[in-house]
């Protein structure tokens, strides 16, 4: 079976860029967000990294939320909630988290040079229960659903970031929590019916796809092995 490469080796091969912003969802609350992550082979990284967003990637992954992902430079990108549809992309170098190394392992095996990561929500939070409570509260208290790229206000942005070819893999990997169901439904309704997709669907579910980073190391390796089998079919 293919080796489970260490993070130190993967860092030598790939650059990671993200678009970070803060949004005022009310006069008293600001949310920290990331709208997209681009993982690209260092040999393909352009001088102007922002043109990466205009390229078509080899695959697009959709996961839960940005987790502990952090910019490696200072970012001052603040908007009001009603400006979200006009948000300009400005990529910055990004510190990868453990989940992204799993994606890199799949990239390495499949020969992909560029993978784009989108999320059900842009809200940055390393702890899933905290993230879930936050998005539920923002939607209930402030009617703010545009934290998700799959919301109607961000249709133009989503169209640009999804695969333009049915041959480009679209991989669902957002996890198994029932609390995500409203976000998953929004995502699936926003994706064009003609779009092909794949992922490791959990048994007994219709829309819960296994996340790249389960708790146990053995399960991380199983996810990797199953994913590369899936991508080879």
Per-residue pLDDT tens over the stretch 143-172: 999 999 999 999 999 999 999 888 899 999
pLDDT at 54: 87
- 119, pLDDT greater than 80: yes
Residue tagged 């603040």 (tokens) = 78
Q: Whole-angstrom Cα distance, residue 93 to residue 103?
A: 17
Identify the pLDDT of residue 86. 82
Query: CA-CA distance, 157 to 84, in Å (whole number)?
Result: 10
Q: What pLDDT sits at residue 57?
A: 96
Task: Evaluate if residue 233 carries a pLDDT over 80.
Answer: no
Q: What are residue 150's phi and psi, to 5 degrees? A: -90, 5
| Interatomic CA distance for residues 74 and 88, integer angstroms | 17
Going along the chain from its start, the domains and CATH numbers come out as 7-232 (3.40.470)
Ranges of H-type helices in 162-211? 181-190
The owner of tokens 């998005």 is 135
């Amino acid at each position: 079976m293919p080796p489970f490469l260490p993070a130190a080796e993967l860092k030598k091969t790939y650059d990671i860029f993200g678009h970070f912003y803060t949004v005022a969802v009310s006069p008293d609350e600001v949310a920290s967000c990331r709208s997209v992550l681009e993982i690209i082979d260092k040999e393909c990284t352009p001088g102007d990294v922002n043109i990466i967003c205009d390229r078509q990637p080899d695959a697009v992954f959709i996961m839960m939320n940005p987790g502990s992902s952090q910019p490696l430079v200072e970012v001052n990108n603040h908007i009001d909630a009603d400006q979200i549809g006009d948000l300009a992309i400005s990529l910055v170098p990004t510190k990868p988290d453990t989940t992204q190394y799993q994606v890199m392992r799949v990239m390495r095996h499949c020969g992909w040079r560029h993978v784009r990561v989108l999320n059900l929500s842009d809200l940055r939070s390393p702890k899933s229960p905290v993230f879930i409570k936050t998005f539920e509260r923002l939607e209930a208290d402030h009617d703010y659903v545009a934290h998700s790229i799959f919301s109607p206000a961000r249709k133009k942005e989503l169209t640009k970031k999804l695969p333009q070819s049915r041959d480009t893999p679209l991989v669902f990997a957002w996890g198994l929590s029932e609390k995500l169901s409203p976000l998953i439904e929004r995502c699936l309704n926003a994706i064009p019916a003609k779009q092909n997709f794949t992922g490791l669907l959990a048994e007994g579910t219709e829309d819960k796809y296994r996340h790249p980073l389960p708790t146990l190391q053995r399960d991380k390796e199983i996810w990797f092995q199953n994913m590369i089998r899936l991508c080879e079919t």
